[in-house]
Amino acid sequence: MPYKMWHSPPRTIITTKIWITNANYKAKQSIEESLRKLKTDYIDLLLIHQPFNDYYYAYRLMEEAYEKGKAKAIGVSNFTQIAF
């Protein structure tokens, strides 16, 4: 008897980070550039790489991308509790 798959096959999860030099007013441009380079309409997980520059503003721009459906989830990496 042939094997049957009862679930969907796994898919690739697209994750990218906003680099520290773009964690400011350049974040929106950085997100658009990532979408273009990845040839996709959305990113599954969008992160700020480290807590440098104006990462609060960059996070607000990430929230905009999330609201527009350009990112399915947003977050941070390499942050400590003090950075929050």
In a domain, 11, yes or no: no
pLDDT tens-digit profile of 53-73? 899 999 999 999 999 999 999
**12-34 burial: b if 16+ Cβ within 10 Å, else e:** eebebbbebebbbebbbebbeeb
The whole-model pTM stands at 0.81
Q: Give me the number of domains the chain comprises.
A: 1
| Domain with 32 in it | 24-79
Q: What is the pLDDT of residue 5?
A: 55
Please say if the pLDDT value at position 26 is more than 80.
yes
Indicate the pLDDT class of residue 80, thresholds 50, 70 and 90. Answer: confident
Q: Which two tokens stand for residue 48?
A: 């700020």
Distance CA 1, CA 4 (A): 9
In a domain, 15, yes or no: no
In a domain, 1, yes or no: no
Please say if the pLDDT value at position 52 is more than 70.
yes
In a domain, 62, yes or no: yes
